[in-house]
Amino acid sequence: MLKYILLCIVLHLVGLIHIIQSANKVIFISFDGFRYDYLDMAEKDGRNISAFKALREQGFQADVQNVMITLTFPSHFAMATGRTVENHGLVGNNFYDPKSKKVYSYKDNAKNMQPEWFEYGDSEPIWMTNERHGGRSCVFQWVGSETRIRNQMAFATAGVYNGAYKLRFRIDRLLDWISDPEFNLAMLYFNEPDSSGHSYGPNSTQVMDAVELANDGVSYLLQKIDQIPELKDKVNIIISSDHGMAYTNCETQTLKLKSIVSPGDVRYDSSPATLGLWPKEGKNVTLQQILDRFNDKEHITAYLREKIPDRYHYKNNYRIAPVFAFADQGWLVGVKDTPYTNLYGMHGYDNANPEMHPFMVAAGPDIKQFKERQLFYQIDIYPLICALLGLDKPNKIDGLIDRATPFLKNPPNETFLTQFRKYASGTFST
């Protein structure tokens, strides 16, 4: 009888290991357009990256294999949901939904806050997963955080996006929230170095200035955490990005849409690097004609939706246009008569290209230390956060818990992992 009681106690303690681990908090920050090699470039340039170096020395740095397409809104929602773009449904920064006959535009706050854009395929952002497990989330201007998704939001948000907020202000607000004992997950978005990369190019002084600005914010964050007893030695920090950046020259490397098809014959979803095309009703133009006209041109490749390469995970979604064109890296597609100006950096290109890859650094009481640079999959950030917070009933995801757990000092036990895999695969439903 005594042996049985002792065995039960041991099994109970084993089950508690991950619960104890999950008592720590997570802060996840995205610096938009922070390419995988920007820290190397900044270090060679003599820039101050001391805070980033401190994190990578305490934890690890990774090059990130990101999703396709390499645009801000699809990529940020992929990080939040652990799903590829074709599965989470936010298929571009701008796109047309043929069922609702509505247009999503990242610049239109009133329309892009509508829940229908984020509820495709029952995707669930990590802030909702956390709260479903009894935690509390605070989110500062992440894609989707200002929207009631299936009538739920993070407990604390910053509302509609406002780019005027300075980085230190955002960090102060986040720390006000996460210092509360009830909050265990904080997420923050900042628009640099992406903005500088677009305007001046990835090799510019301005981008290096933006990297130093990001470092200043991280340094400030670390200093404040050390001063707050509720947070000191209790926070796992993950810092990553949505995509990288490639050099372009808007004066010499722009293809004009009107030189390929008549803009009046098609409806188009566009970023400067990609173009989705829908024939307009009543126009005498076919999908094959559109496809052929694009593929007669150099520096751009078009596909019928069903022929888009499988490795993109970007075709099995009715919101993706029936003809989709990808510019060669460094080239742009101009859809208006007004030419692009001051555009010397762009993303949206093939996610196999290193210049499209973002970076990642992470450190904390539960994060394992690696001396060598690692590879991390963007869609695995969701299961990584789940493991750190002890969330064993995820939504259905494409990310893999088994790729994330090697980055933990104390990986979850097999009971946790077995249940997690069943929910993540859709075998069990939330």
Active-site residue numbers?
72
What are φ and ψ of residue 175, in 5° steps? -70, -35
Place of tokens 């604390």: 156
For the chain, what's the residue count?
A: 430
Nearest 5°: CA angle at 249, between 268 and 263?
20
- Bridge partners (DSSP) of residue 301 are 326
Distances (CA, A) of 382 to 65, 81, 161, 427: 14, 6, 23, 18
R_g over Cα of the chain = 22
102-140 burial string, b = 16+ CB within 10 Å, else e? eebebeeeeebbeeebbbbebbbbbbbbbbebebbbbbb
Q: Which amino acid is at 201?
A: G
Residue 155 contacts residue 203 (beta carbons within 8 Å): no
Residues 6+ apart with CB under 8 A from 322: 277, 278, 279, 287, 304, 305
If DSSP codes are grouped into helix, strand and coil, which group holds residue 266? Answer: strand
Burial of 373 (0-12, 13-18, 19+ CB in 10 A): middle
> Measured between alpha carbons, how far is 209 from 213 in angstroms, rounded to an integer?
6
DSSP state of 305: G
Distance of CA 261 to the CA centre of its chain: 33
Nearest 5°: CA angle at 87, between 81 and 92?
85
> Measured between alpha carbons, how far is 236 from 363 in angstroms, rounded to an integer?
6
Element (H, E) at 279: strand 274-279
Residue 247 contacts residue 35 (beta carbons within 8 Å): no
- Bridge partners (DSSP) of residue 361 are 61, 239
DSSP state of 356: G
> Measured between alpha carbons, how far is 274 from 333 in angstroms, rounded to an integer?
7
Q: Which amino acid is at 169?
A: F
User: What are the counts of helices (DSSP H) followed by strands (DSSP E) for the chain?
Assistant: 14, 18
